[in-house]
């Protein structure tokens, strides 16, 4: 990997992290304010509409936007073909949703759904307009600009609803907030991308990208089913009560993994795509990424396993205690999935989507079978959680085989990349086990003091392990973070000094 590409990758991760945190803070703050201004029914109606919109969009995701990032060489014909295809397809979907709006309102037993779907259908058009410029920003690794687009979209989509809610617009404040945020996002993304479509459409250009795009489409459908099959089967065989406990456990486990995936995947997909023919560089980068992710994943999931009883009981209340056991079990699958996902940008960049999709199909059948068997045998959501762990191990095995076959990336290399983090994790595991057993006669396992103690010990043991053992790859990880932090601070300081000098000069 060239120095410039490495720097772009690190900066991309940094910008994605910064904007990701910013969006989370805005969403959390606005959700608290809107919850006080609106009624639960308002959120329920908007939730029903969002399900319809998102499900319809997933059914239409052919992956051509990813092709614009992945393909070695693209020209204006490719960009225009994707733009007009997306616009035509999304327009048809908008018409379909409008045609079905009345039936969907009857399905939800709420007439307001019909009118809201009429208005929200414009989201399809707006997303189509901005799809190609967003892909071009990602291709050029302009993640600062891409983050600004997302941030402005988020902020507008949250401030507007608050203002409209204060004015008494009810559920429509949420609707117009989403639409105005999308409109602003489209305008900004065109400004940063510096690209506008020409009145030209060549089917040949679209056809060149169809093979990759088709498998991305198939992968999206299977991935959606794979991520929701446990919810569907639990609801079918165990009831909505059990599903509620399981959903809470899964989301708590999945939150850090989802944030990590959002931060690294789009950046690394762009980086790998630029060196897709250079396997040795991909392997070196992949090893460093997996080492870094392991330093985050191991301590985080081990901490969550021990903190689960106090975390759930104190935050959600005693009625949520059935969530604790499946959450602790799924910390295992959470760690496995966090490490597995590091391969996905490589799979996309190398054009191995078809192979991954077929492996996902096998995994989906296996996971469904395991869940049905465990629920029929009466193991409940605990059995489902163990099914997910077993399925995650099998799926990781599939992906390792795929990487060895097409990239010559061996399982030994994969495990060696996380060796240091695993050793630190074993020390953390032993220390927390001793602390919990030693203090269980003093503090309840589900109390606030135990939560604080577990959290503090986890941090101290992590750094103490490095102080006494001092693995070189761990030190390199910390040195890299410190170096980047100093560089960012110097840039910020220099900019401030430059502004001061300019103001003095103007005065």
Confidence of residue 1 (pLDDT cuts 50, 70, 90): very low
- Structure confidence at residue 332 (pLDDT): 92
Q: Is residue 504 part of a domain?
A: no
Residues 6+ apart with CB under 8 A from 108: 45, 48
pLDDT in tens, 143-188: 566 666 666 666 666 777 888 888 888 888 888 888 887 888 787 7
Q: Is residue 265 part of a domain?
A: yes
Q: Is residue 507 part of a domain?
A: no
Instruction: Say if residue 502's pLDDT is above 70.
Output: no
| 388-407 per-residue burial string, b: 16 or more CB within 10 A, e: under 16 | bbebbeebbebbbebbeeeb
Length of the chain: 507
- Structure confidence at residue 3 (pLDDT): 45
Phi/psi of residue 111, nearest 5 degrees: -65, -25
Q: Are residues 150 and 234 in the same domain?
A: no
- Structure confidence at residue 356 (pLDDT): 84
Q: Are residues 410 and 440 in the same domain?
A: yes
- Residue at a domain's end among 165, 192, 208: 208
Q: Are residues 202 and 229 in the same domain?
A: no
Rounded-to-integer distance, Cα 423 and Cα 465, Å: 9
Q: Are residues 164 and 275 in the same domain?
A: no
pLDDT in tens, 395-451: 999 999 998 988 888 899 999 888 888 999 999 999 999 999 998 888 888 888 998
Rounded-to-integer distance, Cα 409 and Cα 411, Å: 7
Residue 153 near residue 84 (C-beta atoms within 8 A): no
* Structural domain boundaries enclosing 436: 216-495
352 alpha carbon, distance to own chain's centre? 20
Q: Is residue 342 part of a domain?
A: yes
pTM over 0.75: no
Rounded-to-integer distance, Cα 400 and Cα 403, Å: 5
The single residue listed with the structure tokens 């007439």 is 111
Q: Are residues 340 and 276 in the same domain?
A: yes
Q: Is residue 502 part of a domain?
A: no
Residue 426 near residue 379 (C-beta atoms within 8 A): no
Q: Are residues 299 and 189 in the same domain?
A: no
Angle between helices 279-316 and 448-469 (to 10 degrees): 150
Q: Are residues 53 and 69 in the same domain?
A: yes
- Residue at a domain's end among 208, 224, 242: 208
Rounded-to-integer distance, Cα 185 and Cα 125, Å: 13
Q: Is residue 503 part of a domain?
A: no
Q: Is residue 34 part of a domain?
A: yes
Q: Are residues 133 and 69 in the same domain?
A: yes
Tokens (6 digits) for 288: 């460093």
Sign of CA dihedral 435, 437, 443, 448: positive
Instruction: Say if residue 124's pLDDT is above 80.
Output: yes
Rounded-to-integer distance, Cα 301 and Cα 422, Å: 12
Q: Are residues 252 and 361 in the same domain?
A: yes
Q: Is residue 322 part of a domain?
A: yes
Rounded-to-integer distance, Cα 388 and Cα 386, Å: 5
- Structure confidence at residue 350 (pLDDT): 77
Q: Classify residue 322 by its DSSP letter.
A: G
Tokens (6 digits) for 109: 């037993």
pLDDT in tens, 218-277: 666 676 667 667 665 665 667 545 665 776 667 677 766 666 655 555 545 445 555 555
The single residue listed with the structure tokens 């902020």 is 155
Q: Are residues 234 and 329 in the same domain?
A: yes
Q: What domain count does the chain have?
A: 2
Rounded-to-integer distance, Cα 45 and Cα 108, Å: 9
pLDDT in tens, 332-387: 998 998 888 888 878 877 778 778 888 888 888 999 999 999 988 888 889 989 99
More confident residue, 3 or 447: 447
Q: Are residues 259 and 196 in the same domain?
A: no
Confidence of residue 494 (pLDDT cuts 50, 70, 90): low
Rounded-to-integer distance, Cα 84 and Cα 368, Å: 38
- Residue at a domain's end among 164, 191, 208: 208
pLDDT average, residue stretch 303-307: 91
pLDDT in tens, 203-215: 776 666 665 556 6
Rounded-to-integer distance, Cα 68 and Cα 81, Å: 11
Q: Are residues 133 and 278 in the same domain?
A: no
């Amino acid at each position: 990997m060239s120095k410039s590409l490495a720097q772009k990758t690190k900066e991309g991760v940094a910008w994605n992290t910064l904007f990701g945190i910013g969006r989370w803070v805005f969403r959390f703050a606005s959700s608290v304010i809107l919850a006080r201004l609106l009624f639960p029914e308002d959120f329920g109606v908007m939730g029903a509409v969002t399900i319809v919109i998102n499900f319809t969009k997933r059914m239409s995701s052919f992956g051509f936007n990813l092709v614009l990032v992945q393909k070695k060489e693209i020209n204006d014909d490719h960009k225009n073909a994707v733009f007009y295809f997306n616009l035509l397809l999304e327009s048809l979907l908008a018409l379909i949703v409008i045609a079905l709006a009345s039936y969907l309102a009857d399905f939800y037993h709420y007439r307001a759904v019909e009118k809201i779907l009429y208005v929200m259908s414009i989201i399809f058009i707006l997303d189509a307009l901005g799809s190609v410029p967003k892909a071009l920003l990602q291709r050029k690794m302009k993640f600062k600009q891409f983050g600004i687009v997302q941030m402005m979209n988020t902020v507008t989509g949250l401030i507007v609803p608050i203002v409209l809610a204060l004015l008494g617009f009810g559920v429509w404040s949420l609707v117009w907030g989403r639409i105005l945020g999308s409109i602003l996002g489209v305008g900004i993304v065109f400004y940063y991308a510096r690209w506008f479509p020409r009145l030209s459409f060549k089917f040949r250009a679209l056809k060149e990208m169809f093979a990759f795009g088709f498998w991305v489409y198939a992968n999206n459908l299977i991935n959606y089913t794979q991520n929701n099959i446990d919810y569907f089967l639990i609801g079918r065989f165990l009831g909505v009560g059990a599903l509620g406990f399981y959903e809470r456990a899964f989301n708590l486990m999945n939150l850090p993994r989802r944030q990590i995936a959002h931060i690294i995947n789009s950046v690394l997909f762009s980086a790998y795509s630029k060196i897709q023919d250079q396997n040795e560089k991909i392997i070196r980068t992949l090893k460093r990424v997996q080492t870094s992710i392991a330093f985050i994943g191991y301590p985080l999931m081990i901490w969550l396993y021990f903190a689960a009883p106090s975390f759930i009981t104190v935050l959600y209340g005693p009625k949520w205690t059935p969530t604790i056991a499946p959450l602790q079990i799924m910390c295992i699958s959470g760690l496995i999935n966090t490490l597995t996902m590091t391969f996905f940008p490589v799979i996309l960049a190398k054009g191995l989507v078809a192979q991954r999709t077929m492996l996902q199909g096998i995994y989906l059948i296996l996971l469904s079978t395991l869940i049905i068997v465990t629920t029929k045998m009466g193991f409940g959501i605990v059995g489902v959680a163990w099914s997910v762990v077993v399925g995650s191990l099998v799926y990781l095995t599939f992906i390792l085989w795929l990487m060895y076959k097409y990239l010559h990336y061996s399982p030994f290399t994969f495990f060696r990349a996380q060796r240091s983090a695993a050793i630190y994790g074993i020390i953390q595991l032993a220390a927390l086990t001793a602390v919990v057993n030693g203090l269980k006669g003093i503090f309840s396992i589900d109390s606030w003091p135990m939560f604080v103690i577990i959290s503090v010990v986890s941090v101290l043991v992590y750094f103490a392990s490095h102080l006494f053992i001092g693995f070189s790859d761990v030190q390199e990880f910390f040195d890299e973070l410190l170096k980047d932090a100093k560089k960012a601070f110097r840039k910020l300081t220099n900019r401030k000094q430059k502004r001061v000098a300019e103001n003095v000069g103007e005065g």
